Amino acid sequence: MIFVTGGAGYIGSHICVELLNAGYDVTVFDNFSNSSPEALVRVQQITGRNLQVIRGDCRDRDALITALQQSQTNAVIHFAGLKAVGESVSKPLNYYDHNVVGTLRLLEAMQVCHIRTIVFSSSATVYGDPVHLPITEDHPLSPTNPYGRSKWMIEEILRDVYRSDPSIRICILRYFNPVGAHDSGLIGEDPQGIPNNLVPFIAQVAVGRRERLNIWGNDYPTPDRTGVRDYIHVVDLAIGHLQALAVLKNIDHERNDQSFGCMTVNLGTGQGHSVLDVIHAYEKACGHSIPYQMAPRRSGDIAVCYADPQFAYKILGWKAQLSLEAMCRDSWRWQSRNPNGYQK
């Protein structure tokens, strides 16, 4: 049984599909603060399998202990947390509470229940402004906002837990820019309020919910002067988690295979795309133009960021397969069939 915190969210719902399709049993633990139970109904519709859903908050250790015991969990994938960079600057305590305290409570509950395997959602944001590209896992860590620092703190906590007990199996996955949706068009990203991220914003312009996109900055030192990122299809990302689980399961502690006991791995494609590249790919996917205007840089943004994905291939045998075209096509299929997200 795999216990998925935050499993109703954007990335979590996609991992649930891949887990169920691979034959795992799944329990989702989510407080639905940024998601809808409907996502999990759709996950079951896509896979034809049931999953167990428990409404609960990761800061509640007793609720976690009960849920872990009830579900007979073998491993945890921990997505639950808050993720809006701007909001983390105005509400830092809330971010440290949900993200850091939530993870502490989860680790305590896992200890009580003797569960020793965890995959954690970290972020490329822990690297801060890149000092070299592509970004390898040993790049210095220098997050520039409370959200990023919460991820960095959790990583340090996990490394300390591992040092205290090297028989624990931990995989820290640093995602670059997850976008796209499942190709069924039934699940996808459904941000509350005004989207912060590029692709969900473009999707809402494409479907007519918003008038035009602001391109934050056209004076970057990049080929077309707009920001460059490593966009990765959410289904590729989900498959990376399955690979991580498989590798953690096969670690042989008898052989003292300790270098693999706490892995930190980038999940990206290794390819950078500019804001204009994404707009053009989306226009192709939806068949009409996306109105946009140039606007000043967004505070805290960096010019270029893309992963070195070689370690992921070496250690997990994983490589992203899906192109920017597929990301936009699948995002558009989801958005056009569900113009208001999960809301009917």
Work out whether 178 is an interface residue with ligand NAD (CB under 6 A): yes
Distance between CA atoms of residues 288 and 275, nearest Å:
17
Nearer to ligand NAD, 35 or 117 (CB): 35
Tokens of 343: 């809301």
Using CB under 6 A, list all residues that contact ligand WQD: 83, 85, 123, 125, 177, 196-198, 201, 213-216, 227, 229, 275, 298, 301
Cis before 134 (ω within 30): yes
Distance between CA atoms of residues 204 and 334, nearest Å:
11
The number of residues that bind ligand NAD (CB under 6 A) is 27
Q: Which residues between 46 and 75 bind ligand NAD (CB under 6 A)?
A: 57-59
Partner in contact with 306, chosen from ligand NAD, ligand WQD, none, beta carbon below 5 to 8 Å by kind: none
Pairing type for strands 262-267 and 169-175 reads: parallel
Which of 175, 231, 306, 332: binder of ligand NAD (CB under 6 A)?
175
Give yes or no: 175 in active site: no
Partner in contact with 198, chosen from ligand NAD, ligand WQD, none, beta carbon below 5 to 8 Å by kind: ligand WQD
Strand partners, 28: 4, 53
Nearer to ligand NAD, 225 or 342 (CB): 342
Question: What residue has token string 């680790």?
Answer: 107
Coil/strand/helix, residue 29: strand
Partner in contact with 73, chosen from ligand NAD, ligand WQD, none, beta carbon below 5 to 8 Å by kind: none
Nearer to ligand WQD, 123 or 331 (CB): 123
Work out whether 6 is an interface residue with ligand NAD (CB under 6 A): yes
Nearer to ligand NAD, 89 or 251 (CB): 89
Tokens of 145: 């906002």
Work out whether 103 is an interface residue with ligand NAD (CB under 6 A): no
Q: Least separation, in Å, of the C-beta of 248 and ligand WQD?
A: 22
Partner in contact with 196, chosen from ligand WQD, ligand NAD, none, beta carbon below 5 to 8 Å by kind: ligand WQD
Q: Least separation, in Å, of the C-beta of 256 and ligand NAD?
A: 31
Q: Which residues between 13 and 52 bind ligand NAD (CB under 6 A)?
A: 30-35
User: Is 189:233 a contact under the CB 8 Å cutoff?
Assistant: no
| 167-to-116, 162, 198, 262, 321 alpha-carbon distances in Å | 8, 8, 40, 10, 33
Distance between CA atoms of residues 212 and 214, nearest Å:
7
Which of 123, 145, 269, 274: binder of ligand NAD (CB under 6 A)?
123
Q: Looking at 147, 220, 231, 282, which residue is catalytic?
A: 147
Nearer to ligand WQD, 25 or 137 (CB): 137
Tokens of 291: 């109105």
Which of 42, 96, 102, 262: binder of ligand NAD (CB under 6 A)?
102
Coil/strand/helix, residue 110: helix
DSSP letters for 65-103: HHHHHHHT-SEEEE--S---HHHHHH-HHHHIIIIIIHH
- CA 225 from centroid of its chain's CA atoms: 27
Strand partners, 5: 29, 78
Coil/strand/helix, residue 286: helix
Q: Which residues are catalytic?
A: 147
Judged by the rule CB under 6 A, the positions of this chain that interact with ligand NAD are: 5-6, 8-12, 30-35, 57-59, 79-83, 98, 102, 121, 123, 175, 178
